[in-house]
Amino acid sequence: MSNRITIDPITRIEGHLRIDFEVAGGKVSKAWSSAQMWRGIEKILLGRDPRDAWVFAQRFCGVCTTVHAISSIRSVENAFNVEVPLNAQLVRNIIIAQHSLQDHIVHFYHLSALDWVDIVSALSADPKKTAQLAQSISDWPGNSETEFKAVKEKLAAFVQTGRLGIFGSGYWGHPAMKLPPEVNLLATAHYLKALDYQKKAAAAVAILGGKNPHIQNLCMGGVATAINFDNEATLNMERVALLRSLMTETRDFVKKVLFNDVVAIGSMYKDWFTYGRGVDNYLAVPEFPLDSKMTKFDMSGGIIHGGDLKNFRKLTNHSDEALINGITESTAHAWYKKDTPKHPYEGVTEPEYTDFEPEGRYTWCKAPRLDGRPVQVGPIAQILASYAAGDKEVVAIVDSVCSKLGISVNALQSTMGRHVTRAIRSVIMADKSLKYLDMLIDNYSKGDTVYANHVEMPKGEYQGVGFHEAPRGTLSHWMVVEDRKLKNYQAVVPSTWNAGPRDENGAAGPYEASIQGNPVADAHKPLEVIRTVHSFDPCIACAVHSIDPEGKELVNVKVR
């Protein structure tokens, strides 16, 4: 007999994601992924000027606002065939890379590490042994005995208050927690340091974007970031020096701390390279354009079927007709007006709520499909696609990590593999940020000072799509314009690809498929399910949840 268990919410960040699953024989036998809130930004956009859509579209999310701005502005530029000057592309590329870094640092340390790290165990660690361990892994200057001793004392004082705050709902002492006390103390210390470094990446985005979250510097045809290295009121050499300093510090933290921590923790949970594979069709779009016409990209994209890297089709740009025409969304099990699967240009967003119906409708997420198949998106998809495409930088680091861990590349298609590929992507984002800053300085110094093209918007009907490889995976915004007003607008976001429900054929989405087969040692503390779902970096992008300042119940686990 199986038990059905509900975790609501399972997310540690914006948005309500509910996971229901049944356990039989100590393993998950069936699962449901349910987005619990709906915002309806698509309907708010109808009738508005398409050039303004990127400002509204950032409100799809309260955290990853930048990605929606990028995708939205690309959709209107695609609709009207607008070229973007190289300087503007490079400014956008820096913003994209730094935003990715902030996202990945926050995800690993603050949204998922506590699924693997036992904070309470760190109280029994020896700071001297912790320092010796940390220094054997990295020469980062923050790995001193004094630092770890101070963190242990801070943690002990926090525990003695009897109010664990954000640590209150952890499954401390769970039998699936395997790390020794010294590793737990090391990770706890880096958890706290990571708060400072994610802020540096956010500050870099704000310097270029005007503010963060919700950047203010985009316009159809470029950016509004005035560039003049000799002017006090523009992006000048003082701002460039500050950017370089922030990005260098963040790069060092990522390379010397985050990357090593993920690999070290992965080496101690090697069984988790065998769980959580789920849907093994992958999609990633090319990112980081290096020309005005969006024909040359610095990072590869592609489509992989069945987890076989030999079954790979490279995507060279964002105009791939098979990709554009192959995407549909199903509402068979979603709380929208029932219809046949629609292409995003024809998509309809008409809410029709029922209740949670396990065999019927149970989520606000639609079910995106590529050529009728579910696909998984995210850093795992981009790293596997780049590896399959032969990207030398990616191949080198993937082969090195897999050798160090003693695993095959195929094993990255797993719960722990999603963490490892995200750490690899972090290293790449850190290097590319500084590369694009150097390219911007070089291009401007050669006499190219243009950062935006003025474009008149003609009357008539147009349609455009803006793809972006966001931190959580492939994002696309689709717009139909009629006489300079938005006639239709649809966003197919990474969390919809991954968190989507079953389709009309009964095929499960990536979250649902990845949980099946996961072990569950204690149904009242389903840590194993949480680990797999959190490895995707779940954030229901079209939802915002409230934090209860009185500390009332935020997590509810039911066993029925």
Q: Is the pLDDT of residue 21 over 80?
A: yes
- DSSP characters over 499-512: H----TT-PPPHHH
Percent of the chain with pLDDT over 70: 95
Q: What is the mean pLDDT of the chain?
A: 93
CB proximity list for 241: less than 8 A, separation 6 or greater: none
Average pLDDT over residues 192-205: 97
**How many alpha carbons lie under 13 Å from residue 72 in its C-beta half-sphere?**
29
User: What does the alpha-carbon distance between residue 204 and residue 318 come to, in Å, rounded to a whole number?
Assistant: 27
Of the candidates 417, 134, 115, 409, the one whose C-alpha atom is nearest the C-alpha of residue 266 is: 417
Which position has the higher pLDDT, 39 or 35?
A: 35
Of the candidates 254, 257, 277, 260, the one whose C-alpha atom is nearest the C-alpha of residue 416 is: 277
Q: Is the pLDDT of residue 549 over 80?
A: no
User: What does the alpha-carbon distance between residue 285 and residue 474 come to, in Å, rounded to a whole number?
Assistant: 6
Q: Is the pLDDT of residue 53 over 80?
A: yes
Q: Is 524 annotated in some ligand binding site?
A: no
Q: Is 42 annotated in some ligand binding site?
A: yes
- DSSP characters over 45-92: HTTS-GGGHHHHHGGG-SS-HHHHHHHHHHHHHHHTT----HHHHHHH
Rank 115-129, 162-176, 544-558 by mean pLDDT and report only the highest. 115-129
What would the pLDDT profile of 217-248 be if each residue is shown by its tens digit?
Answer: 999 999 999 999 999 999 999 999 999 999 99
Per-residue DSSP letter, 115: G
Residue 558 has a pLDDT of 56
Average pLDDT over residues 88-103: 98
Residue 38 has a pLDDT of 78
Residue 353 has a pLDDT of 92
Q: Is 214 annotated in some ligand binding site?
A: no
Per-residue DSSP letter, 317: S
Query: So what CATH class is 83-269?
Result: mainly alpha
| 1-59+277-413+455-559 CATH | 1.10.645.10
498, 509 Cβ separation under 8 angstroms: yes
Residue 2 has a pLDDT of 62
Domain boundaries, the chain: 1-59+277-413+455-559, 83-269
The SS3 call for residue 274 is coil
**Domains 1-59+277-413+455-559 and 83-269 alike in fold:** yes
Q: Is the pLDDT of residue 150 over 50?
A: yes
> Annotated catalytic sites, by residue?
14, 61, 64, 68, 472, 495, 539, 542
Verify cis geometry, omega within 30 degrees of 0, for the bond prior to 526.
no
Residue 301, CA distances (Å) to 312, 374, 468, 509 in order: 10, 17, 11, 21
User: What does the alpha-carbon distance between residue 462 and residue 464 come to, in Å, rounded to a whole number?
Assistant: 7
Q: Indicate the residue type of 117.
A: V
Residue 266, CA distances (Å) to 129, 274, 297 in order: 20, 12, 31
**Structure-block tokens of residue 10:** 């399972």
CB proximity list for 537: less than 8 A, separation 6 or greater: 103, 107, 111, 112, 378, 422, 471, 472
**Structure-block tokens of residue 145:** 């005995």
User: What does the alpha-carbon distance between residue 302 and residue 467 come to, in Å, rounded to a whole number?
Assistant: 13
Which position has the higher pLDDT, 375 or 552?
A: 375
Q: Is the pLDDT of residue 249 over 70?
A: yes
Residue 548 has a pLDDT of 44
What would the pLDDT profile of 490-533 be if each residue is shown by its tens digit?
Answer: 999 999 999 999 999 999 999 999 999 999 988 889 999 999 99
Of the candidates 164, 111, 152, the one whose C-alpha atom is nearest the C-alpha of residue 128 is: 152
Q: Is the pLDDT of residue 359 over 50?
A: yes
Q: Is 545 annotated in some ligand binding site?
A: yes
Average pLDDT over residues 314-337: 96
Q: Is the pLDDT of residue 62 over 80?
A: no
Average pLDDT over residues 143-154: 96
Confidence band (pLDDT; 50, 70, 90) for 477? Answer: very high
The dihedral of CA 119, 125, 128, 131: what is its sign? negative
Average pLDDT over residues 90-100: 98
